[in-house]
Structures are given as structure tokens and as C-alpha cells.
Structure 1
Amino acid sequence: MDPIRLGLVLHPTRDVSPVVGTIMAWAARHRVALAVRDQDRHRVPDSVQAVPEDELADQSGMLVTIGGDGTMLGALRLAIRDPKPVLGVHLGKLGFLVEVEPPELPAALDRLLTGDYTVEAHSCLACTVCGDDVVAFNDIALVRHPGQGFVSANLAVDGQQYGYYRCDALVVCTPTGSTAYSYAAGGPLISPATRAVVVTPSAPMAGISRSVVLSPEETVQLELRPGSGPVAVEVDGRVIRDESTSGVVDIHYRPDAGLVVRLDPRRHQERNQLKLRLLDLPLLPEQLRELLPESLRRQLGRREEPLR
């Protein structure tokens, strides 16, 4: 098998140095080249090559993200022109996309090298926001500014007027994104194996008040209505336009736009199902701890004691 080059995509603020050290030690043993984005040059040793952000995916056979789901989504967007397999290393708090915990990383990298993994294709939403082209792997959302009115927008499907919304936020998501903002807004969970687009209002006050599930062949258009409050447009959680009071967002479903490495798909799915159940529990983390046997609580307490 030809040698691969790994592109590293780092969480913007978390300390990633222990994981980077693990990857570097592994790469040295296997003579695998590493690269990072120019803006991360100062966070890695000099032996890791820095390249322009828009060239990282093109110059890498695979990408490894170190962070949470947001970091993974950023890597998928980097590779949108020519999708490359992306392996996620988990440093976040929850994470539905990332699969590998730091202690599992050396074995996961070995499997990358031997091709012992599967690839999970992910769809995205190709969006035109007031003339600017963007992509969203989770969701695109129109969000009100507190104290400055509400989101008021018309919905058209395949050019036909469907109805209107007056709400706090309006979320359009992929099946992958159905566990994110859309879920928090009361939207349905959509199987990753399904191809669909979901439009969900958050705190609707008038107009359409339920989620609308559309086929991938249908196009979605959202147009701000006269009198709408100022709206922020978020793509995968990033604000790309702020305080808009007019304009149109056109949304098209694009299949197989991103590739995610899966080492144990069944185990990953079981973990995600458990995480979703925990989200619905009205308990704080310290309250959940009280449900554990005393011996296990003591063991966890010892693990969390600060080093001296």
C-alpha cells in the first residue's frame, strides 16, 4: 500500500499537544508525513509541514481532526471539493461524529495504514446566502437577535410557496444535523441512512409550527419577510452574516459530500444512542454520579484528583 499523508485539523483553543505527540511518534515509526494549516504552525513541531488552509485536504490522503464535532465539520468543509476520509479524535464534551478517544488512537492509526476501516458518506446542504455560496454538513439556521423582534420568513419548496414562519430561529438540517440544533428546537431524529432535508422552527409564534421533512430532490428557499427582525445566519454554528433584515437563502441537498472514517460503526451508533438518552434526562452530571455504586464513585474520584 502506498504511503499516506495525514492532514491534521486542530481544535482552535483546546490543548491538543498530547494527541499531536501521539500522532507524531506513530508517524515517525511508519514514515508517514504530517501537515497542518498555516494558522496552526506554532502549535506543532517544525517537522510537521504547514500549508495554506485551502490546500490541506488536496495535499493529504486523509485528515485527522483533534477536537469535537465542530472540528470534524470544519475538516469536512475543507475537503468539500475532493472529499477525503476524516478520522475524528475526541477532545470535546459530547460528540456525535467523532469516534476515537485519545487512548485508542495508536490502534486506530494502525488500522488507517492497513485499510481496516469503513467510510461513512455524509450529505451536506449547498446554500446560497444572499448570493454567497456556503456548505453546511449539520445545519443552516436563521436566528433572531434578542430584544430585536423575531425571524419572519417565507418557505418555498421547488419554487412553490409553502407557508411562513414567525419564530425565534429557523433551522434547516441534514440527517446528521438532526441531532444538533434541530433536535434542540424539537425536530425529529433522522437516521443517517436516510436522505432528507428537515426544516424546524424554534419557539414558533405564528405560521408553520411543526417540522417539515422534504426529499433530497426538493429545493428549499427561505426569504425574509418585510418587518422581520434582524437575523443572524449560522452555518454549522458559525455566523456568516449578521443583522440581515432582508434577503434569500436557497438550499440544495448534496449527497456523499463528506467521508467519515468508521472503525466500529455498531459501537459508535450505540454510544450515540446513549448520549441522546442522557440529553433527555433532567439531571446534572453530579446528580448522575449519585446513581453509580459507591465503589465506582470512589474510583472516579481518585482519577479526577489533581496531579501534584
Structure 2
Amino acid sequence: MTAGFVLKPKDTIKLKETFLKIKKVFESRNIEVLIDSVSAKAIGLLGVEFNDMCEAADFLVALGGDGTLISLARRSYKFNKPILGINAGNLGFLTDINPDNIEEFIDKFLKGEYRIDERMVIEVEYKDKKLYAFNDIVISKEVISSMIHIRVDTNESYLNTYYGDGLIVSTPTGSTAYNLSAGGPVVYPLTEGFVLTPICPHSLTQRPLILPSNFVLEIEVKENFAKLVIDGQEIYNLDEKIKVKKALNPAKLIHRVERNYFDVLRKKLHWGDGK
């Protein structure tokens, strides 16, 4: 069995000791460890090119936080490999394995005592590219003093023209990210659907909307100063219509059997603090 590691870019040097400890645990259980060349170079090790690593690995490991896992899920999408998130910071919505508990988890993992959650992924057709988003895509203005018109059509009919600072199209997983900050709903992550949330709309009648995952959305911005942001990590100039749909394959996340999403919500969002 082979595991492919990616480390949080901003903390790669700090994570060297943690990675080496985890590597030792994996190898003691006959799991070969590969590390992508960028992460490896930062900590003075030899690594493997990212695509080669994804091809060779049976599963991938994100060592860092939710952002590291989101990036890995998007970049490795075409390889369709399950991803384990090891949390190197505060409790995340996605990374729930603590480095201190990795031995216990890996022993259970090798016995088949784990679960794989399948999360919906967004596919965006833009020009001649296919882009993938694990959390969300955001159509936003570039000029602070101006607002933009965003027309949305579905495969059934014209939907709406949003006028304001932008529009978030989120997966259920991404509902607790920018969508939540913009006033959108929290959606259970194993459901499927698009969450459309306007950003600072000019009219208060423009409200968040949840659409079925089998809808295909066509989104067009009338102005020529808009940006398309993928998972908050990739930015494109948006100068023509995009098509948005559910990607063919889901992202597959490896979790502890005991993991409870509502426990995470209560801890992260401080639900029930007044109980």
C-alpha cells in the first residue's frame, strides 16, 4: 500500500518533524510513503512530481488544515483517489485526524475500520478548460466602487440576474465557508445540490437559493471587470459565459468511523454554548 503526502505550503518547514513521525508510523506498518516534490524540497527531502505521486498512491494525505485538503482534492480530482486529512492546527471541518492519534487510526484503517464520505464537486467549463471546485466558485467584481450584473440560466429556464458585489455557488461541503459568511445556509455535506448566495445584493429580495445537483447553470457577467475564484485559491479573469454542473465523480474523504459532523459544527460554530 502506498500513501502520497502533501504538506501545508505556509507551514511546511514547521511540519517536517510531524511528517517524519507519521512517515515512520506508516512505514512500520508496511505503507510506502511518497511526498510531492514541492513539499519535499521545502524540508530538504527528495520527492515525487505531484501527478506521478497521485498515480502511484493508493490514497492521498493532506497534512495541514482544511485549505490543504481542499487544494489537494481539487488538484488530484482526475486521479479519483481517497484523501485522508491529518489536522496540524485547530480542529477543521474536514481534517479530523490528530497527529498524536495517527497510530491508533492507522491500525484501525488497516483493519478496514474507517469510512469514506463522498462529497459533491463542482465542474466549471470556462473557455477550453474544465475547472473543479471542492468548496465553491465565486463570481466577484474587481472594481471596489462598482457592482456587477450576473445572469444565471438553468437547463430548465432563466433563473435570475443578480446585481451586487458577486455570487457564490457552493457545494454542501462549502456551505460552511464563504457561503456562511455571506448569510447562506448550512447544508449537510453528504447531500447534493448547489447553494447560490448573492454577495451584498443591491436588492434585499435577492436571497440564498438551493438547487438540485442535476441542474446545469450558465452564468454570464455583463461587465468586463469580473473575477472567477475557485475555492478561494485560483483566480481567473471572467470575460465570457461559464457553465457550472455537478462533476461526474465525487471527492472521497477518509474519516474515523466515530466522526460526527454535528459534533464538529457545535465546536466550530459554538452551537449550544448557552445550554
The TM-score normalised by the length of structure 1 is: 0.81
Cα 1:55–1:35 shift into 2, 3 Å: same
2:236 and 2:221 map into 1 onto residues whose CA distance is 14
SS at match of 2:113: coil
The structure that has the greater radius of gyration is 1
**Residue 81 of structure 2 corresponds to which residue in structure 1?**
84
Structure 1 range deviating more: 92-101 or 61-70: 92-101
Identity of aligned residues (%): 24
Q: Give 1:44-193 correspondences, 5 Å limit.
A: 44=43, 46=45, 50-93=47-90, 95-158=92-155, 160-193=157-190
1:252 aligned to which of 224, 245, 252: 245
**Residue 15 of structure 2 corresponds to which residue in structure 1?**
16
1:170 and 1:92 map into 2 onto residues whose CA distance is 30
1:129 and 1:51 map into 2 onto residues whose CA distance is 30
Deviations 1:112-132 (A, max 9, x none): 222210110111001012332
1:183 and 1:131 map into 2 onto residues whose CA distance is 31
Structure 1 range deviating more: 95-104 or 25-34: 25-34
1:127 and 1:145 map into 2 onto residues whose CA distance is 20
Q: Is the 8 A contact 1:143 1:233 kept in 2?
A: yes
- Runs of 4+ in structure 1 over 3 Å off: 43-46, 264-269
Question: What is the CA distance between 1:149 and its match in structure 2?
Answer: 1.3
**Residue 300 of structure 1 corresponds to which residue in structure 2?**
none
The TM-score normalised by the length of structure 2 is: 0.90
2:34 and 2:59 map into 1 onto residues whose CA distance is 10
1:149 and 1:94 map into 2 onto residues whose CA distance is 37
The code of the aligned residue for 1:86 comes to I
Deviations 1:277-308 (A, max 9, x none): 36x99xxxxxxxxx9xxxxxxxxxxxxxxxxx
**Residue 199 of structure 2 corresponds to which residue in structure 1?**
202
The code of the aligned residue for 1:239 comes to E
Matched length: 272
Structure 1 range deviating more: 197-206 or 251-260: 251-260
2:208 aligned to which of 211, 219, 243: 211
**Residue 235 of structure 1 corresponds to which residue in structure 2?**
230
State the superposition RMSD in angstroms. Answer: 2.3
2:231 and 2:258 map into 1 onto residues whose CA distance is 23
1:220 and 1:194 map into 2 onto residues whose CA distance is 18
Question: What is the CA distance between 1:201 and its match in structure 2?
Answer: 0.4
Deviations 1:160-195 (A, max 9, x none): 221201121210011101111111111111112321
Residue 34 (str. 1) matches residue 33 (str. 2): yes
**Residue 305 of structure 1 corresponds to which residue in structure 2?**
none
Structure 1 range deviating more: 4-13 or 52-61: 52-61
Q: Is the 8 A contact 1:125 1:254 kept in 2?
A: yes
2:44 and 2:234 map into 1 onto residues whose CA distance is 32
Structure 1 range deviating more: 259-268 or 12-21: 259-268
Deviations 1:91-142 (A, max 9, x none): 2445211111221122122222222101101110010123321000110001
1:265 and 1:72 map into 2 onto residues whose CA distance is 20
Gap runs ≥5 in structure 2: none
Question: What is the CA distance between 1:208 and its match in structure 2?
Answer: 6.2
Question: What is the CA distance between 1:29 and its match in structure 2?
Answer: 1.7
Cα 1:239–1:132 shift into 2, 3 Å: same
**Residue 263 of structure 2 corresponds to which residue in structure 1?**
270
Q: Is the 8 A contact 1:234 1:240 kept in 2?
A: yes
